[in-house]
Amino acid sequence: MAAIGRYKGWLFVAPWVIGLSAFTVYPFCASIYYSFTDFSVLVKPTYVGAMNYQKIYEDDLFWKVLKNTFLYAGLSIPAGLIISLSLALMMNGVRRGQALYSIIFYLPHLMPPVACAILWMWIFNSEFGLLNNALRPILGLVNMSPPSWLGSSDWALPALVVMAMWGVGQTAFIYLAKLQDVPQDMYEAAEIDGASTLQKIWYVTLPMISPVIFFNIIMAIIGSFQVFTAPFMITEGGPDKSTTFMPHYIWDNAFRFLKMGYACAMSWILFLVILALTALAFRLARDRVYYAGK
Amino acid sequence: MADEDLTAGYGTQAANRSPIMAGALHVILLAACSVFLVPFIWMAVTSLKPIDQTMKETMIPKATLAMLNGKETLVVRKEQLKGESLLVRQGGGQDAGKVKLIPALFKDAPAVVNGMAQMKFTRAGREEYEPELVKVEVLRTCPKGYWLVEEWAPEFSQEREENQNKELAWDCVPESELKEVPHLFWSNYKSALSRMQGNDEGSWYSVGFFRYLLNTLFLCGMTVTGMVVACTMVAYAFAFLEFPGRNVLFGVTLAVMMVPFPATMVPSFDLFRSLGWTGTFKPLWVPAWFGGAFFIFLLRQFFLGLPKDLLDAARIDGCTELEILWHVVVPLARPALAMVALFQFLHCWNDFMGPMLYLNDSRQFTLSLGLQALQSQHGGTPMHLSMAASMMFSLPLVILFMITRKTFMKGIAMTGIKG
């Protein structure tokens, strides 16, 4: 009985093990294999060595897409962090209304990406959109006109970042919840030492919630490199391929151009990039994240 | 009230803050709230506008009313008369009996004698022939500046298509007789629904919005059930059962969360294709019955926080693990399970890439796919209808959130704090 008892656990985790192997591990490994082949839905995989990787190296569009993806992440991760943290700090600083504020900030996060895409596509519309209708009179005072947002290769990507910022409510709420957990004696000690509000935030609050900040940054890195729905629907990767990100390019190569081996090679590079950034974050966090009582 | 949960920790921080500071924070927060809410309000307002107002930033949809045939009707302004025109009834010819509007200064304008005149009309389809001379009865003169208005009809309604040849009432009225009133065009919703129906043959439940809704609900139901059942079992094992390789497996579980979807997208698609599952719902719900990394992690953390003595007591009483799971752990873990169910439901409802990848037939589409198809329809979709469709797609979530708010917020907090 004891022997069976030890392996009871395996029975319970069996579904996960099967699912993991079939739906994650197998595709993951297959992806590596396929990246060294040339295949599509119609053509069986044929080994071509590192040709796909060679082609990626020579593919100008790939480098542009990679740059776009980094740019998007580089804008949305810090912006999201600052906005959600600021909102959380402000909400934490008021006595009443926290529940109501956090609900209002959270609502946009609920919205289906497809509906969001349609809505923001309309808001950013250069002729009739809400944003430009509001900006036009203001900019008209200095003889400028608002940019054509989704139609301009310079502004389309920032527009997508702005759209993503609408959904920071969940992160803000996580910060708020964690802020509530900061023990009061810390603040009292800091006040005794004569700390100003800003100093208290920098030296007490932020370190105390640093695990959550770190967690959110990791999630943001992983998430921002996988953005698909919004650019796919709104800009279709344009204008002039300025909003084509890695997932979209991989999709196109796999299902439109039917170069699945090529797409697998790219998806592997994407994974390695995310892994490298995550490892970098872990390394940087080692000295900065403070796990109180863990 | 949920306020207790949130304000439990606050203390000297906010208490010592001066009212001015607190007031300033409220002002900024309220400003931020309005920025966050404006897109919502805009979506709602646009969904209730008639098409000509979707281009303007009016906040309140307005309708124009006029007296047509003695009845106050909703009208559309067609054009403003640039010169004096005559309202005539055609005496003969192809359109005999029909009332028409002709410009009075037209060089071929008839000379009006005793209310009757003669006009040249060209028969439709017979342009090569000489225009016929037809008697017309002049009904009324419409001075310059009058508006030609036509009865308003909702676009793409079933009735409109059935009555293609039905004449819409129209007239020429002065500006003074037109009334602008706030009016919510609820018919946009009906129009959006019928536009989603498209030209497909079928009843209301086999194509169109309600079909998409049924499909989405089916998928949500299947994935939520599967996820909750599977993840509970697996998390139970990770939390309470000792078995060789447990820590390694858990480490792998955590690592899996980092694998981006695009990395497994292509081989997964190939796998499902070789199973013959592409074009069906199976790739979308079957994997859920095997669990998901994130929820397993979350539930395991939650289970670890449960009092172990209860489980030990149950074991001493001779319960099998399954019995412990079902009778002890599950009742205690109800909030966590509810949370998993909610988040999985949300994820499934909003999912776009999965259905996009595996569903081909429009009868299988989920709501997100249906909405996207509506948007990218040939010829484009007018924004007010798109907004109406988006509202129908999003509102159930908002309502669900309002009902389950506490569970939701607790769940979000848990992902952050335990993470």
Domains and CATH numbers, chain A: 59-285 (1.10.3720.10)
**pLDDT category of residue A65 using cuts at 50, 70 and 90:** very high
B41-70 pLDDT, tens digit per residue, is 999 988 888 887 777 777 788 888 888 777
B80 occurs within a structural domain: yes
CA angle (A100 as vertex; A95, A101 as ends), nearest 5: 80
pLDDT of residue B8: 42
Do B79 and B220 reside in the same domain of the chain? no
What integer pLDDT is reported at residue B73 of this predicted model?
Answer: 82
pLDDT on residue B165: 54
**Are B136 and B273 within one domain?**
no
Total of domains in chain B? 2
- CATH number, domain containing residue B265: 1.10.3720.10
Query: What is residue B139's three-state secondary structure?
Result: strand
- Taking the C-alpha atoms of residue B206 and residue B213, their distance in angstroms, rounded to an integer, is 11
pLDDT, position B7: 41
pLDDT value of position B419: 46
Kindly state whether residues B144 and B244 are assigned to the same domain: no
Distance CA A37, CA A41 (A): 13
Q: How much of chain A exceeds pLDDT 70, in percent?
A: 97
pLDDT of A50 above 80: yes
Low-confidence ranges of chain B (pLDDT < 70): 1-17, 92-95, 103-134, 155-167, 198-202, 204-205, 378-379, 416-419
Q: What is the mean pLDDT of chain A?
A: 86
Closest chain B CA to residue A259: B266
pTM of the full predicted structure?
0.85
**pLDDT above 90 covers what percent of chain B?**
23
Nearest to B304 by CA among B327, B271, B336, B266: B336
Predicted ipTM of the assembly:
0.87
DSSP readout, chain A? -HHHHHHHHHHHHHHHHHHIIIIIIHHHHHHHHHHTEE--SSS--EE-TTHHHHHHHH-HHHHHHHHHHHHHHHHHHHHHHHHHHHHHHHHHHSSS-HHHHHHHHHHHHHS-HHHHHHHHHHHT-TTT-HHHHHHHHHHHTTT-----GGGSTTTHHHHHHHHHHTTTHHHHHHHHHHHHTS-HHHHHHHHHTT--HHHHIIIIIHHHTHHHHHHHHHHHHHHHTT--HHIIIIITT-STTTT--HHHHHHIIIIIS--HHHHHHHHHHHHHHHHHHHHHHHHHHTTT---TT-
Residue B126 within a domain: yes
- Are both B221 and B266 inside the same structural domain? yes
B268, part of any domain: yes
Q: How many CB pairs under 8 A join A and B?
A: 298
Question: Which range scores top for mean pLDDT: A86-90, A234-238, B109-113?
Answer: A86-90
pLDDT at B102: 72
Best mutation site among B12, B13, B324, B371 for testing chain A: the one with the most A CBs within 10 Å? B13
From A110's Cα to the closest Cα of chain B, the distance in A is 7
Looking at the partner chain, which of B262, B368, B401 has a beta carbon nearest the beta carbon of A246?
B262
pLDDT at position B170, please?
Answer: 81
Contact A31 B387 (CB under 8 A): no
pLDDT at position B105 is 53
Give how far A131 is from chain B: nearest CA, Å: 10
Residue from the list A15, A133, A175 with its beta carbon closest to the beta carbon of B230: A15
B74 assigned to some structural domain = yes
Are residues B283 and B169 part of one domain?
A: no
Percent of chain A with pLDDT over 90: 29
Could you tell me if B261 and B320 lie in one domain? Answer: yes
Q: Are B163 and B222 within one domain?
A: no
Q: Which amino acid is at B85?
A: S
Shortest distance between the Cα of B242 and any Cα of chain A, in A, equals 6
pLDDT of residue A196: 81
Nearest beta carbon to residue B412 from set A128, A170, A247? A170
Do B215 and B177 share a structural domain? no
Domain that holds residue B218: 209-417
| Pair (B138, B221) in one structural domain | no
Q: What is the tens place of the pLDDT at every residue in A150-187?
A: 888 888 999 999 999 999 999 999 898 888 888 888 88
Identify whether residues B346 and B235 lie together within a single domain.
yes
Question: Which of the pair, B138 or A70, is modelled with greater confidence?
Answer: A70
Q: Are residues B93 and B223 in the same domain?
A: no
Q: How far is B161 from chain A (nearest CA, A)?
A: 27
